[in-house]
Amino acid sequence: MAVKLQKPILVAGIGVTTLMGLGETVHSRFFHLGEWGLLGAIAVGAGAWLMRPQSSIDSLVLPPSLTKETVEGAIAKTETLINSLTSEVPETEIIPLREKINQLPAEFERQNLQIAITGARKVGKTSLKQQLEAQKLGDNLTFVETPPLLTEIEAEDQKAKNLALASDLVIFLINGDLMDSEWQIIKELTAAHQRILLLLNKQDQYQPEERAIVMQQLQQRVKSYIPSYEIIPVAAAPKEIIVRQHQTDGTLKEWTEKPNSEIKDLIERIQYICQKEQDQLLWGSAWRKTMNVKQQGKAIYNQVRKEKALPVVEQYQWIAAAAAFANPVASLDLLATAAINAQMLVDLGSVYQQKFSLSQAQTAASTVGKLMVQLGIVELTTHAVGGFLKSHALTYVAGGAVQGISAAYLTRLAGLSLIEYFSEQEVVLDPESNLNVKTLEQKLKQVFDDNQRMAFLQGFVKQAISRLSLDKTATTVS
């Protein structure tokens, strides 16, 4: 397989591999540790970067309050993003996004408010909605009930969350202490600048002492997200009570009565928020709609860029296969692979508008190699490829093919991980920014898990054998 190379990092890496291969006799005295010894050397090269101070990843906290200026700035940035798409994305996909962006400024002047009532099954959403609508709190208020949360149907859960996020205010109902799954949803909504009233419904079913304990626990748990005065006990549909009355003739008359709902505190809080803090509600809604348009634009952008990036990964995976297959010194294969991955990183960075210097790319490629060793990906890949080749009819592949095919597979994993990493970054990045090692490690794990299926590996090995068998020795460097 003839491969013509004109990339400086790649040429240098393969060149070093070739020169060191000529001194194999001397090499064997110092590199008897084989592949793992070289991987250790690669790890040392990445040490300086990995050992630099890393900012701790704190748990999600309440985002700063929005201002009109903040939202207007987000709209302007999203509009810039949409404009930048025109050079890479078909206009037919951009027009709907432009229309949504143009509608966003009107959010600041909107008079009608939508309030979503959400929660798990059987927490009283329907009863509360009926009670609130009966109060006729104003023509500008609309109450909507979301599908139940925490069902086994993911699409229904997402539909409920989407409706909550699309509303101006959320009333979140629970029947007792907050479950962790409910807590996670509250944090998710709050992170999107969604205002939440947390209601302890069916309070009539608690003794006063029990209710006080539950309320105290709720206030303590969510104090960083929801102020205590917006955690409200209610009884949207109190249970019927038995009334007994002694008659003058000495008999006992008994009947049931349905108490009135207990939502007075909730009504007062809703009225206050809608009258005094309507602007803040509208800013939050405008911000969420802006982020939604931004994510849609980014998804289109990433799809277009991925279509450009995948051929780059495929090109370098076969270059890595040829280099490792042609190199008779197995312990040096990863030296060439690291050089190839560095050049691939530079080219992928160009696709995603992320500029890397040669030294940055070399350090990052070494880091990827170290992560693969730490995660056991190298060992698992080599064993899997070797196992497939043992049963293959073409016996000539017993030599350098394990190294060649493994190098191709590892290069592909590295490339796909970088694509996933870049896809989550802002479209326009600071050219001087470095890769986040922890995030890249997560993507590497995810990509490896998605690509280690036996059927996929068998297909990849067969494809690699076909590529290598075209020319087992011809690798041209110029």
The predicted model gives 264-270 an average pLDDT of 94
349-367 exposure pattern, b = at least 16 Cβ within 10 A, e = fewer: bebbbbebeeebbbbbbbb
The predicted model gives 372-390 an average pLDDT of 79
Q: Count the domains in the chain.
A: 2
Specify if 437 maps to a domain. yes
- Indicate the pLDDT class of residue 426, thresholds 50, 70 and 90: confident
Query: What is d(CA 438, CA 44) in angstroms, rounded to the nearest whole number?
Result: 18
Q: Are residues 334 and 436 in the same domain?
A: yes
Specify if 88 maps to a domain. no
Specify if 142 maps to a domain. yes
Strands of 196-200's sheet in order across: 141-145, 113-119, 169-174, 196-200, 231-233
Q: Are residues 366 and 466 in the same domain?
A: yes
Q: Are residues 123 and 44 in the same domain?
A: no
Query: What is the SS3 assignment for 175?
Result: coil
HEC-encoded secondary structure of 90-129: CHHHHHHHHHHHHHHHHHHHCCCEEEEEEECCCCCHHHHH
- Of 208, 243, 276, the one marking the end of a domain is 276
pLDDT at residue 18 above 90? no
HEC-encoded secondary structure of 21-77: HHCHHHHHHHCCCCHHHHHHHHHHHHHHHHCCCCCCCCCCCCCCCCCHHHHHHHHHH
How high does pLDDT run on average in the chain?
A: 78
The predicted model gives 436-463 an average pLDDT of 79
Evaluate whether 378 touches 366 at the Cβ level (below 8 Å).
Answer: no
Q: Are residues 433 and 463 in the same domain?
A: yes
Specify if 73 maps to a domain. no
**pTM flag (> 0.75):** no
pLDDT at residue 471 above 50? no
- Indicate the pLDDT class of residue 434, thresholds 50, 70 and 90: low
Q: Are residues 307 and 435 in the same domain?
A: yes
Q: Are residues 268 and 322 in the same domain?
A: no
pLDDT digits (tens, 9 = 90+) for 300-316: 888 889 999 999 999 99
Query: What is d(CA 57, CA 54) in angstroms, rounded to the nearest whole number?
Result: 9
Q: Are residues 402 and 320 in the same domain?
A: yes
- Of 243, 276, 309, the one marking the end of a domain is 276
Specify if 400 maps to a domain. yes
The Cβ of residue 330 has, within 10 Å, a number of other Cβ atoms equal to: 15
Q: Are residues 226 and 256 in the same domain?
A: yes
The CATH number covering residue 175 comes to: 3.40.50.300
Q: Are residues 258 and 392 in the same domain?
A: no
Q: Are residues 174 and 316 in the same domain?
A: no
- Percent of the residues in the chain that have a pLDDT greater than 70, as a whole number: 78
What per-residue confidence (pLDDT) applies to 48? 37
pLDDT digits (tens, 9 = 90+) for 45-86: 334 333 333 333 334 445 668 899 999 999 999 988 888 887
Specify if 95 maps to a domain. no
- Of 246, 276, 306, the one marking the end of a domain is 276
Query: What is d(CA 339, CA 292) in angstroms, rounded to the nearest whole number?
Result: 39
Domain residues for the domain of 44 are 4-58+296-477
Q: Are residues 397 and 262 in the same domain?
A: no
- Indicate the pLDDT class of residue 6, thresholds 50, 70 and 90: low
Specify if 285 maps to a domain. no
Q: Are residues 356 and 269 in the same domain?
A: no
pLDDT at residue 207 above 60? yes
Which residue in 357, 135, 146, 139 sits closest to 266, CA to CA? Answer: 135
Specify if 43 maps to a domain. yes
pLDDT digits (tens, 9 = 90+) for 163-189: 999 999 999 999 888 899 999 999 999
Which residue in 21, 27, 32 sits closest to 327, CA to CA? Answer: 21
